Structure 1
Amino acid sequence: MTDRASRIYLDHNASAPLRACARDAMFAAADLTGNPSSVHGEGRAARSVLESSRKTLADNLDVAPERVVLTSGATEGAATLLMPLWMKSAGEVRYERLAVLDVDHPALREGGRFHRDQFDRLPVSADGQCDLASLVEWLSEGRDRLVAVAAANGETGVTQDVAAVADQVHSAGGRLIVDASQIVGRLPLAAFAKPADALILSSHKVGGPQGIGAIVLPEDGLCPMPLMTGGAQETRRRAGTPSPMLAAGFAAAFKAAAAEVSCVDSMAVLRDEFEAALLARTSALIIGRNAPRLPQTTAFQLPGQRAETVQIAADLAGIAISSGSACQSGKVGRSVAVEAMRAGGASVDPDLGLVRMSFGAMTTSADLSRLIEVVAGLYERSRKPMHRAA
């Protein structure tokens, strides 16, 4: 095992390294004393940091601050928004059914607070994109419907045509929820956020602290029944004392990540060079290669090698990669994303899982070259015939 200082971290889709600006903002906020709901001076100071952080998020999302509700992360955000019963000043609004994509993260795929018989998993193409014909058919079966999709799949990096999905959903009178956790800093956010009625965001995906995220509610004042009840925090939309320290770190990281969208082209060049080298040295299959993808993500299968084997070999060589989403890769099993893509016609083997390499703006070509050597070495050793002693 290599020492920590020399290790290469290529698992940004699971959790990006904490940014210095986020750490500094958190340290500054950590000196505050007081509950942001208290009316004394200390409480008001804590509240000021909280609301300033909310405004930073809102400004970078181009929405009103009151639409931003802080959560503990994207999973809580999904559980909050994937809810049949919503509220408006005029009364309750009930959504009878939910549609999710079969390829997406369990936070969406499992339907949130909808019962299993109240939601449907829509198929995807061989490249992992929403089957629009199936969506149109599903929408035609009734009104009062919610649709939830991830703008980018965390395992494969494949992005959805959110504008096209939104057109179909809105023309049928439905609402669209978009998980934009993997988009910020990697692709222009507006193209995925503007068509959505509500958004799900995560701090640690953009280099902020773990344990905080946000949802962005529809601009017409519609909001789901709260998941967390009790106090009046977040204007009664999410009970529990919020953390000014985590909010400050989240806001600082989000602002910095949003500014990195200028690095998209250079990251895509690095990814493409990595994939070309991988294919030159092995017979790997790049998953979702023909679809629009995140510029810093490559998912692949290596013939005859389970994803966990490749991940372990990389880890022993001092390189952190993944064998699936972080919520799944702690256990060995078939990849749900690969299974969904195979059902859509992809020539992939779900039993192999998938290897995911995802990097950041500071990753270098030399970093990716080291991974190529590890994967190619494993591949070459696996192709050599085994000689048994007489």
Structure 2
Amino acid sequence: MQCNPDNVIYMDNNATTRVAPEVVDAMMPFLTDYYGNPSSMHTFGGQVGQAVEQARGSVADLLGADASEVVFTSCGTESDSTAILSALQTYPDKRHIVTTRVEHPAVKSLCENLDNLTGHKHRVTWLKVKADGTLDMEEYKASLSEDTAIVSVMWANNETGVIFPVEEMAKIAKERGILFHTDGVQAVGKIPMNLQETDIDFLSLSGHKLHAPKGVGVLYIAKGTPFIPFLNGGHQEHGRRGGTENVASIIGLGKACDLAAASLTDENTRVRALRDKLEQGLLSSVPKSLLNGHKENRLPNTSNISFEYVEGEAILLHMNQYNICASSGSACTSGSLEPSHVLRAMGVPFTAAHGSIRFSLSVYNTEEDVDFVLEKMPAIIENLRKMSPFWEE
């Protein structure tokens, strides 16, 4: 059965976003007429190369960076791995990594593999989070040592939207001669950034989280940061990432960054207000529901709410009947009985962690979308609780 996209209430933007129509329009000529290789010496390819450089400038403007610091990759995961592995190769005598227990799997899985890698003796410190999803800065300071090669901490959590103080953390790392990487995938385009005023060495972003296509990302590498490429090959990206550029998607990402810069105020006012209306409406109309994450220190579009004594995947299935798209904080949909590692790290009660739903809005959401969800959700939860052996009125 197919779903008509015109009838969808889409609130799963932290998973992926709609490609903006303006982005599609910008990409199309480079899928049809302007197909030259940007590295070619002839004019036909050279004009494609100029378009890539223009897109690089758009990304840099959104980040508050210099265009020379922007390296195009295939995705956020590649960018994360590139930054962390580069640091470990740059400082082979330093085997220590500092990260958090609530990182995205792109960082978490890599660090787990390095932690367990036989013969390499890498050591990972996993920073805890408080009940509201925030970090203990004293624990962070105490975790750094002479053996630390890199700190990798996400700018904003993908499940709760909680924002971490990465600028302050980068400054502390810099004072101790330690490289600092942040997974900025969820934060870029949602909150203002000016990387040139920070001590951040590496930042990762992914196009499909800000209305560009899937399959394109960026690794920001601050000027002067020692760097060893992950993908070796041709001279593309000034020798920092081999492989012919994904031109059309890069052009799309550049346009998406222009749009994101223009809509930052809307994101932090109108979208935030819609998020707050949705959140307050659900918390007030559904008994035994609770907000996961710091109430204020969050991305403007993200709300993670637990509905006690029901299962997240059951909620999503009932929401799906109304074409409402969101995500569960539980990993049950992947066949695991374990709730989200983020919520477990926060100490969310078992009865609530399994029933968590992440709503993540975008500039395309409307007040009518929010009203529709508020109309349907209370009955969905009430009906599921009637079937739950753990629910007691």
When normalised by structure 2's length, the TM-score is 0.88
Cα distance per residue 1:119-142 (max 9 Å; x no partner): 221111111122212211111x32
Cα shift at 1:232: 1.9
Output the CA distance in 1 between the equivalents of 2:241 and 2:189: 27
Does the residue aligned with 2:50 lie in a helix, a strand or coil?
A: helix
> Identity across aligned pairs (percent)?
29
The aligned residue for residue 9 of structure 1 is 10
| Pair 191,53 (structure 1): closer, same or farther in 2 beyond 3 Å | closer
Output the CA distance in 2 between the equivalents of 1:200 and 1:96: 22
The aligned residue for residue 34 of structure 1 is 36
1:160 equivalent to 2:164? Answer yes
Output the CA distance in 1 between the equivalents of 2:196 and 2:11: 25
The aligned residue for residue 233 of structure 2 is 230
Cα distance per residue 1:335-379 (max 9 Å; x no partner): 11111111xxx4454750521100111311221122223321122
Output the CA distance in 2 between the equivalents of 1:192 and 1:266: 28
Output the CA distance in 1 between the equivalents of 2:253 and 2:166: 25
1:297 equivalent to 2:336? Answer no
1:259 equivalent to 2:262? Answer yes
| Pair 350,169 (structure 1): closer, same or farther in 2 beyond 3 Å | farther
Output the CA distance in 1 between the equivalents of 2:62 and 2:167: 20
Mapping of residues 52-91 of structure 1, within 5 Å: 52-83=54-85, 85=87
- Contact preservation (8 Å) 1:203, 1:213: yes
Does the residue aligned with 2:98 lie in a helix, a strand or coil?
A: strand
**Letter of the 2:68 counterpart:** E
Number of positions where the alignment pairs a residue of Structure 1 with one of Structure 2: 376
- Contact preservation (8 Å) 2:63, 2:195: no
Output the CA distance in 1 between the equivalents of 2:342 and 2:37: 42
User: For structure 1, which segment, 92-101 or 251-260, has the greater mean C-alpha deviation from structure 2 after superposition?
Assistant: 92-101
Cα shift at 1:24: 0.8
Output the CA distance in 1 between the equivalents of 2:241 and 2:183: 18
Output the CA distance in 2 between the equivalents of 1:261 and 1:194: 20
Choose from 193, 205, 208 the match for 2:209.
205
The aligned residue for residue 102 of structure 2 is 103
Cα shift at 1:266: 2.1
Does the residue aligned with 2:35 lie in a helix, a strand or coil?
A: coil
**Letter of the 1:38 counterpart:** S
- Contact preservation (8 Å) 2:329, 2:356: yes
Q: Is there any run of 5+ residues in structure 2 with no aligned partner, and where? A: 117-121, 389-393
RMSD across aligned positions (CA): 2.5
| Pair 99,195 (structure 1): closer, same or farther in 2 beyond 3 Å | same
Q: Is there any run of 5+ residues in structure 1 with no aligned partner, and where? A: none
1:172 equivalent to 2:171? Answer no
| Pair 129,289 (structure 1): closer, same or farther in 2 beyond 3 Å | closer
| Pair 144,381 (structure 1): closer, same or farther in 2 beyond 3 Å | closer
